[in-house]
Structure 1
Amino acid sequence: MEDAVHRVQSCPDRRGLPRRRFLAGMAAGAFLSGTGGARAFAAGEGLHFVHAFGETTLPKPAERVVSLGYTTQDPLLALGVRPVAIRQWFGSFPHGVWPWAQPLLGDAQPTMISGEVSMEVVAALAPDLIVGIGSGISEAEYAVLSQIAPVLMQPVGLPAYGMAWDELTRTLGRAVGRSARAEEAIAASRRKFADARARHPGWAGQTAVCAYNYGGETGAFSGFDTRASFLAELGFRPPQALTELADPNVFYTPLSPEDLSPLDADLLVWISSSDVVSDIVALPMRRTLRAHKEGREVLAGALVAGALSFGSVLSLPFALEQLEADIALALDGDPATMVKSAAAAGLAP
Structure 2
Amino acid sequence: MKQLWIRLLTAVLVVGATQAADFPVTIEHKFGATTIPVEPDRIVSVGYTEQDDLFALGKAPVAIRPWGTPMPHGVWPWAEEAAKGAEPTVLGRGPLDFEAIAALDPDLIIGIYAGVTEEDYKRLSLIAPTVLQPGDYVDYATPWEEQTRIIGRAVGKAEEADALVEGIKARFAQTRSEHPEFEGKTVAAAFFWDGQVGAYTSGEPRSRFFTELGMVIPEVYDEESGDAFYATFSLERIHLLDVDFLAWYWDSPEGALASNEVQRLRQTLGAYQDDREMILPARLRWALSFSSPLSLDYALDELVPVLSDRL
Q: Which residue identity is paired with 1:179?
A: A
Distance 2:91 2:78 in 1: 20
CA contact (8 A) 2:247 2:278 kept: yes
The answer for the alignment partner of 1:291 in structure 2 is 271
Distance 2:199 2:56 in 1: 30
Q: Which residue identity is paired with 1:119?
A: F
CA shift, 1:53, in A, is 1.7
Q: 1:82 to 1:262 in 2, by over 3 A?
A: same
CA shift, 1:245, in A, is 4.7
CA shift, 1:281, in A, is 8.1
Distance 1:55 1:266 in 2: 43
Q: How does 1:135-150 map to 2 (within 5 A)?
A: 135-150=114-129
Distance 1:54 1:244 in 2: 27
Deviation string, structure 1 residues 219-267 (Cα, Å, up to 9, x no partner): 2222421111111011001245x35753363222212212322111111
- Give structure 1 regions of 4+ aligned residues with deviation exceeding 6 angstroms: none
Identity of aligned residues (%): 40
Distance 2:103 2:225 in 1: 42
Q: Which residue identity is paired with 1:279?
A: L
Q: 1:239 to 1:90 in 2, by over 3 A?
A: closer
1:323 is aligned, of 295, 299, 303, to: 303
CA shift, 1:110, in A, is 1.2
Q: How does 1:158-237 map to 2 (within 5 A)?
A: 158-237=137-216
Q: 1:247 to 1:119 in 2, by over 3 A?
A: closer
CA shift, 1:152, in A, is 0.6
CA contact (8 A) 1:70 1:88 kept: yes
| Cα RMSD (Å) | 2.0
Distance 2:206 2:68 in 1: 17
The answer for the alignment partner of 1:127 in structure 2 is 106
CA contact (8 A) 1:49 1:152 kept: yes
The answer for the alignment partner of 1:5 in structure 2 is none
CA contact (8 A) 2:201 2:222 kept: no
CA contact (8 A) 1:239 1:264 kept: no
Q: Which residue identity is paired with 2:170?
A: R
CA shift, 1:117, in A, is 2.4
Q: 1:276 to 1:287 in 2, by over 3 A?
A: closer
CA contact (8 A) 1:224 1:250 kept: no
Q: 1:164 to 1:244 in 2, by over 3 A?
A: closer
CA contact (8 A) 2:222 2:231 kept: no
Structure 1 residue 264 corresponds to structure 2 residue 242: yes
Secondary structure of 1:317's match?
helix
Secondary structure of 1:206's match?
coil
The answer for the alignment partner of 1:64 in structure 2 is 42
The runs of 5 or more residues in structure 1 that have no matched partner are: 1-44, 332-349
Q: Which residue identity is paired with 1:117?
A: L
CA contact (8 A) 2:197 2:234 kept: yes
CA contact (8 A) 2:181 2:308 kept: no
CA contact (8 A) 1:88 1:112 kept: yes
Q: Which residue identity is paired with 1:294?
A: D
The answer for the alignment partner of 1:6 in structure 2 is none
The answer for the alignment partner of 1:300 in structure 2 is 280
The answer for the alignment partner of 1:310 in structure 2 is 290
CA shift, 1:278, in A, is 6.6
CA contact (8 A) 2:202 2:217 kept: no
How many residues are matched?
Answer: 286
Q: 1:151 to 1:245 in 2, by over 3 A?
A: closer
Deviation string, structure 1 residues 258-315 (Cα, Å, up to 9, x no partner): 2322111111122232363672585212222122222211221211111111122222
The answer for the alignment partner of 1:105 in structure 2 is 83
CA contact (8 A) 1:166 1:186 kept: yes
CA contact (8 A) 1:223 1:247 kept: no
Q: Which residue identity is paired with 2:289?
A: S
Q: 1:287 to 1:120 in 2, by over 3 A?
A: closer
Q: How does 1:39-50 map to 2 (within 5 A)?
A: 46-50=24-28
CA shift, 1:121, in A, is 2.2
CA contact (8 A) 2:206 2:289 kept: yes
Q: Which residue identity is paired with 1:208?
A: V
Distance 1:248 1:235 in 2: 25
The runs of 5 or more residues in structure 2 that have no matched partner are: 1-22
Distance 1:154 1:116 in 2: 18
Distance 1:80 1:291 in 2: 42
